[in-house]
Amino acid sequence: MTAVALGRADTAYNRVPKVTVDFWLIKLMAVTVGETAADYMNLDLELGLVKTAWILSGLLIVALTVQFAQKRYVPWSYWISVVLISIVGTLITDNLEKMGVSFLTSTILFSLLLAVTFAIWHGFERTLSIHSIYTTRREVFYWLAILFTFALGTAAGDLGAEIIGLGFVYTGLVFGTVIAVIAAVYYAGWMNGILAFWLAYILTRPLGACLGDFLSQGHKYGGLGFGTVITSYIFLGCIAAVVLYMTMTRDGEEIAQKDALEKKAIQEAQEA
């Protein structure tokens, strides 16, 4: 990509990564870590859901503070934030379940919260495009939507695997199949790219959660029994390797797509 000076009035870098194969690969691994790391801190370290949630929420605030300061896509700060927000989203749903809120209720609740977030975001910005996250307000909406997708995905995944009783494998296959259908419909030209992205983003969360549970849980629960520690470290190592690759190759960087009205306003200001 040709570098363009950020100082120009008509140019800004997108603060989130371009959607590539690497993006989906690391996103799936990040949500898998979100499931196993939350279980590790809650159960293996015996911190409990509440204490774990407070600790990880504090780390997430620090990570997002660093992320918002970048003003462009920087792989290590962005993906640290994704991993942490994945864990926090999982913990929110798990804490609600501990308080007696069913996974069905949580699924409906976070679906509504996500819909409201998108509605307000679109009301202010007139777009939900991930190719135009170049202002602080848009990035706030983006991360809020990401948080709700993770909480929703956790609730939906647990609803299918535990409450409906499909188990980790079949629940994962269901969500994987739906994602494949969305991809096929999009590439056939029958679905808007923004809608396809957000639907796939939501559904990769329960897919990753099922994968994490399948690898970490014991045989009597239908898993392979690797444990939360080994599973978490495997995926954290893979994430670190992909992030290093992205940093070295600058894969994922893109110049933000300015809105038509903003382009017109800039042009008029330059001509005045």
Residue 1 lies in a domain: no
Residue 264 lies in a domain: no
65-103 pLDDT, tens digit per residue, is 999 999 889 999 999 999 999 889 888 988 999 899 998
Contact 171, 160 (CB under 8 A): yes
162-201 pLDDT, tens digit per residue, is 777 677 778 888 888 999 999 999 999 999 988 999 999 9
Residue 173 lies in a domain: yes
Residue 158 lies in a domain: yes
Q: Spell out a b/e string for 72-86, using b for 16 or more CB atoms within 10 Å of the CB, else e.
A: bbbbebbbbbbbbbb
Residue 270 lies in a domain: no
Residue 43 lies in a domain: yes
Residue 113 lies in a domain: yes
For residue 24, the tally of other CB atoms under 10 A from its CB is: 15
266 Cβ contact list (under 8 Å, min separation 6): 9, 10, 258
Residue 203 domain boundaries: 21-258
**Is residue 231 over pLDDT 90?**
no
112-162 pLDDT, tens digit per residue, is 999 999 999 999 998 898 888 999 999 999 999 999 998 998 888 878 777
For the chain, what is the domain count? Answer: 1
Residue 119 lies in a domain: yes
Q: CA-CA distance, 85 to 79, in Å (whole number)?
A: 10
